[in-house]
Amino acid sequence: MPQISGLNPNESTVAELSDGRLMLNMRVGGNDYKRLASISTDGGMTWSEAYDEAALTDPVCQGSLLSAMVNGSHRLFFSNPASTTRTNMTIRMSGDDGAKWDKKNAVFEGPSGYSDLVLLSDTHVGLLFEGGLAKYFNGIAFRKVPIANIK
């Protein structure tokens, strides 16, 4: 994991980019509700200096990163409670290896926490996440989300 002065990244997730590089996406406290990312060009032996993922607002919570081929095009998907509180479980999608996360779908607006993504088909992703009515840890939910709805 990259060395980051004054920050303690943890609960990381990694995905392969379209050109074979790896992207490490990290939960981190004390970073103004932003996640960090780093890139490896050698299969994870070394990592670039970490940078802020300014588009990925995060309440210091685990997130999920998924690399997938969808209808012949490489896509990255990311899920987390996209807020400064653990609410608003959202899936974001990037078609340019994470340079922009301009497509999103708010899956659940209530209290939410940890999540995990899986590609179900060329048309759907699956999202398993903590979600509840009063607290994020009051339940576990699964949503089958049409990729066409991530816009």
Q: Choosing from 11, 16, 49, 53, which is the catalytic residue?
A: 11
Q: Do the beta carbons of residue 14 and residue 37 sit within 8 Å? A: no
Confidence of residue 7 (pLDDT cuts 50, 70, 90): confident
Q: Smallest Cα–Cα separation from 120: which of 82, 91, 100?
A: 91
Over residues 103-119, the mean pLDDT reads: 98
Give the C-alpha separation, 48 to 100, whole Å: 18
pTM of the model: 0.95
Q: Do the beta carbons of residue 24 and residue 11 sit within 8 Å? A: no
For residue 142, how many other CB atoms are within 10 A of its CB?
Answer: 11
Q: Is the pLDDT of residue 5 over 70?
A: no
Predicted local distance difference test score (pLDDT) of residue 1? 56
Predicted local distance difference test score (pLDDT) of residue 60? 96
The percent of residues above 70 in pLDDT, for the chain, comes to: 97
Over residues 12-41, the mean pLDDT reads: 96
Q: Is the pLDDT of residue 123 over 80?
A: yes
Give the C-alpha separation, 94 to 103, whole Å: 7
**pLDDT for 67-100, tens place per residue?**
999 999 999 999 999 999 999 999 999 999 999 9
Using a 10 angstrom Cβ sphere, with 0-12 exposed, 13-18 middle and 19 or more buried, the burial of residue 22 is middle
Predicted local distance difference test score (pLDDT) of residue 8? 83
Which of the pair, 145 or 1, is modelled with greater confidence? 145
- What's the token pair of residue 96? 């340019």
Q: Smallest Cα–Cα separation from 60: which of 86, 91, 38, 98?
A: 86
Q: Is 49 annotated in the active site?
A: no
Q: Do the beta carbons of residue 37 and residue 98 sit within 8 Å? A: yes
